[in-house]
Chains A and B, each alone.
Chain A
Amino acid sequence: MIEVENLGRTYVEEPVVRDLSFFVPEGQVLGFLGPNGAGKTTVMRMLTAFLPPTTGRVVVAGVDLDQDPVGLRRHVGYLPENVPLYPEMRVDEYLRFRADVEEVQRADVHARIEDVVDRCMIGDVRRQVIGTLSKGYRQRVGLAGALIHRPPVLILDEPTVGLDPNQIIKVRELITELGRDHTVLLSTHILPEVEQVCERVFIIDRGRIVADGTPEALRTKLVGNPSLAVELKGANGAARDALEALPGVITTSDRGDGRYLLEHAAGSDPREAVFRLAVDNGWVLLALTPQQASLEDVFVRLTTREDEFVPATAEGEAEEVHDA
């Protein structure tokens, strides 16, 4: 659905996006992850034919950006960062305007407006002036506008920024639902969002893709072997060696107070063996928890460079994230 080859963009001699190539098949929900200033918005602006690329080729829904930028725009629904809207218009007027501008068939305009109002749950503010709406409603009105012409591809730039937790959940649900019949590309720097909503993740840094895969694949690939936290009561010094001897277990570290951390090979599951070992030895098994490295770890690892000065506060935050 989206094909990008060697895409590059330079601002005043400074490359912002460098040599980006990727392919997004139809129906995929793709997360674009990266620190601020990584080039996410620039890539999105090029994919929506707002910004001409300096180099490379973009094909969206079979339309080449170079040959027909206006045609490409017909297939894309775009919600820019901060959801720009016309504050003086009413919601209905705005959607009508978008329908006209997006070339919705005259006969369908009414039905399309009803449909997006329904989908985005903005029925109760239809007559309201946009300037008076809360952030959550504005976000949904913006999304409704982007959906009005049934674009096969949806590009959303930080769709949940500035929303309260309830609104975030609603918008995420909406995006997940949209993902069933749209190809969605969304950018964010909120990591749990990506894990919840996206089937695939790009981590982009300084205009380059530094990682590409499913959230799970990224985790195992970049964090290494899965691990298991075990807490035993009544175990003696022998427990550590016994645990390490279990099939699949690579190393075991003793964390004191009967707590152990087992690193095991990907694909193996030593939980049952741990349980039997405890039963056989008469130990009480208090906890047996698979440890998942979060995408945060991956993110921090990939986008922090040693050559870069990391302020103390940022490091503290990274630590906190690690603990969580």
Chain B
Amino acid sequence: MRKVWAIIRRELIAYFSSPLAYIVMTAFLLMQGYIFYLIISFLNNPQTPAMTPLRLFFGGTIFFWLFLLFVVPVITMRLIAEERRSGTIEVLLTSPVTEAQVVFGKFTAAMVFYAALWLPTALYVLVLKRHSEIDIGPVLSGYLGVFLLGFFFLAVGTFCSTLTDNQLIAAIIAFAAMVILFSIGLVEQLMISSSFIKSSLSHMNLWTQMDDFAKGIVDTRHVIYQLSAGALFLFLAAKSLEVKKWR
């Protein structure tokens, strides 16, 4: 555990000593702030149907997804690809650390960074709270959804980072993989006949899952899908690191 903690700490040093972290955070907050502004002004129009602003904020708009799909690969791209490029992976994996510990430590650091990215958005909740009544339940479940989605996508990104020693390629693969995983659920809505495939795909629809969380519905099927898919990718990442650590 101490070794994993050391890896997490090292990874956080790396995040916050590079300008990338600050660029990502700034862009993320600008984007989120703008989305929040759009949502509020949209809802201020009396003709819009009754909805809570935070429901739209959590996955209710395409901006949420676009940004998530861009930000996650940027967070995860260097995790292992950079270690392989610089050769430090050789130092790391000749100390008494297992591949699983390396993957877990790095992934956890990415989760911490992701959480740090979302933390300032709690201000929006406070702002809304000053001006209207808000139901704290859906807010919390919304954040749970954000966390689960992050868990899933960051695991995918971590796995993609083990595949190459080039950060940019790692980011592109991760982006492509996440777009596929995201749109696989949307395909379901295009299918008319109700078949087995359609019902299976409906369980993979991240958009509706996120919407449920934003509405305050914590469906354990969603939780299990995202957690187990994330765990699968982490497992694959550890295996891939074991096999591909040398050229």
Which residues of A are in contact with B by a Cβ distance under 8 Å? Answer: 45, 48-51, 70-71, 73-74, 76, 78, 80-82, 84-89, 93, 97-98, 100-103, 106, 145
Contact = CB atoms under 8 A, between A and B. Distances in A.
Given A97-B9, A101-B7, A80 B17 contact: no
A302 to B, nearest CB: 28
A74 B96 CA distance: 6
B6 A70 contact: no
Given A84-B87, A88-B13, A98 B95 contact: yes
A80 B98 CA distance: 18
B90 A50 contact: yes
Nearest to B102: A101
Nearest to B85: A84
Interface string B81-108: 0000011111111111110000000000
B13 A101 contact: no
SS of B interface (majority): helix
Contacts of A85: 86, 88, 91
B4 to A, nearest CB: 10
Given A97-B9, A101-B97, A80 B2 contact: no
Contact of B98 (A45, A51, A70, A93): A70
Given A84-B90, A86-B10, A86-B14, A101 B95 contact: yes
Contacts of B89: 84
Given A86-B14, A86-B88, A51 B3 contact: no
Nearest to B3: A101
A153 B13 CA distance: 30
A89 B245 CA distance: 23
Given A45-B90, A86-B86, A88-B17, 19 more contacts: A45-B246, A48-B94, A78-B91, A81-B87, A84-B86, A84-B89, A84-B90, A84-B91, A85-B86, A86-B10, A86-B14, A87-B86, A89-B10, A93-B10, A100-B2, A100-B3, A101-B97, A103-B3, A106-B2
A101 B14 contact: no
B220 interface: no
Interface of B: 2-3, 5-7, 9-10, 13-14, 17-18, 86-98, 245-246
B98 A88 contact: no
A97 B10 contact: yes
Nearest to B242: A52
A50 B88 CA distance: 12
Contacts of A101: 3, 6-7, 92, 95-97
Contact of A80 (B13, B14, B90, B97): B90
10 contacts: A50-B245, A78-B90, A78-B94, A84-B90, A86-B86, A87-B86, A88-B14, A89-B14, A100-B2, A101-B6
Contacts of A106: 2
Contact of B94 (A76, A87, A89, A93): A76
Which of A76, A87, A88, A100 has the largest count of B CB atoms less than 10 A from its CB?
A: A100
A131 B32 CA distance: 35
Which of B6, B90, B97, B98 has the largest count of A CB atoms less than 10 A from its CB?
A: B90
Contacts of B3: 100-101, 103
Contact of A97 (B6, B18, B98): B6
A29 B220 CA distance: 61
Given A86-B10, A88-B17, A50 B95 contact: no
B96 A103 contact: yes
B96 A102 contact: yes
Nearest to B246: A51
A86 B82 CA distance: 10
Nearest to A149: B95
Contact of B96 (A50, A70, A80, A84): A70
Nearest to B92: A101
Nearest to A99: B6
A49 B96 CA distance: 10
A84 B88 contact: yes
Nearest to B98: A70
A100 B6 contact: yes
Which of A51, A70, A78, A86 has the largest count of B CB atoms less than 10 A from its CB?
A: A86
B179 to A, nearest CB: 30
B243 to A, nearest CB: 10
A68 to B, nearest CB: 10
Contacts of B2: 100, 103, 106
A185 B1 CA distance: 31
A145 B91 contact: yes
Contact of B87 (A51, A73, A80, A97): A80
A98 B6 CA distance: 9
A87 B2 CA distance: 23
A50 B94 contact: yes
A80 B17 CA distance: 25
A78 to B, nearest CB: 4
